[in-house]
Amino acid sequence: MSVYKVASRYAKSLLDLAQEQGKLEDVKANIEQFVSVVKENTALRAVLANPIITFEKKYAILDQLFKDKFDASVLAFFKIMIYKGRGEILYSTAQEFLRGYNVIKGVVEATVTSASTLSTENFEALKSLIAKELGAEVILTNKVDASLIGGFVVKVGDKQVDTSISRKLEDLERYLAVRSV
């Protein structure tokens, strides 16, 4: 079974538990903090994935880091995953939890890639337009890729809208290549 499938199954069980206990928002905040810490600390991710390090040591590290900050159910969930030998997918599971949370809450993640950083006004206008179009709250991130020359590329899930100048030049090149044959 793929890592993605396993991680999403564990994430689903944590989502279900959090909803059942009425602690969805608290658990989400804990998971966001966990993702942030692990993202910044690759050594922690390496420790969790290392099969040589004992389950007890792995859990002791997590317990020490998050004991007074996290809900007991989150720590218990971490313990279960580690003792089942799933420490290496703990980070992926946390990310899947956040994706599942967004689905439950009707939040959509989108990315706009532009040739330069969008102004706050343009960013907010695009965010509002996407939210209106989808009928959902949108978390929009802006990435910069100078190779686009101008315009932007918006990705929402598996859909993409590309209005970049580089794309238009590619299309023109293909058109001219076909016409010259």
Average pLDDT rounded to a whole number, residues 80-106? 95
Q: Identify the CA nearest to 96 among candidates 12, 2, 21.
A: 12
CATH of 3-103, one of 1.10.520.20, 1.10.10.1150, 3.40.50.720, 3.65.10.10: 1.10.520.20
Exposed/middle/buried for residue 167 (C-beta within 10 Å: 0-12, 13-18, 19+): middle
Amino acid identity at 5:
K
Q: What pLDDT score was predicted for residue 174? A: 92
Average pLDDT rounded to a whole number, residues 65-73? 94
Question: For residues 166 and 147, what is the distance between their CA atoms, to the nearest angstrom?
Answer: 7
Higher local confidence (pLDDT), 170 or 3? 170
Q: What pLDDT score was predicted for residue 180? A: 77
- Predicted structure pTM score: 0.78
Q: How confident is the model at residue 158 (pLDDT cuts 50, 70, 90)?
A: confident
Q: How confident is the model at residue 4 (pLDDT cuts 50, 70, 90)?
A: confident
Q: Identify the CA nearest to 47 among candidates 57, 37, 33.
A: 57
| 25-68: pLDDT as tens digits | 999 999 999 999 999 999 999 999 999 999 999 999 999 999 99
Q: How confident is the model at residue 3 (pLDDT cuts 50, 70, 90)?
A: confident
Question: In the predicted model, what is the mean pLDDT of the chain?
Answer: 94
Look at residue 92 and tell me whether its pLDDT is greater than 80: yes
Domain residues of the chain, as ranges?
3-103, 106-179
Look at residue 181 and tell me whether its pLDDT is greater than 80: no
Contact of 2 with 84, CB cutoff 8 Å: no
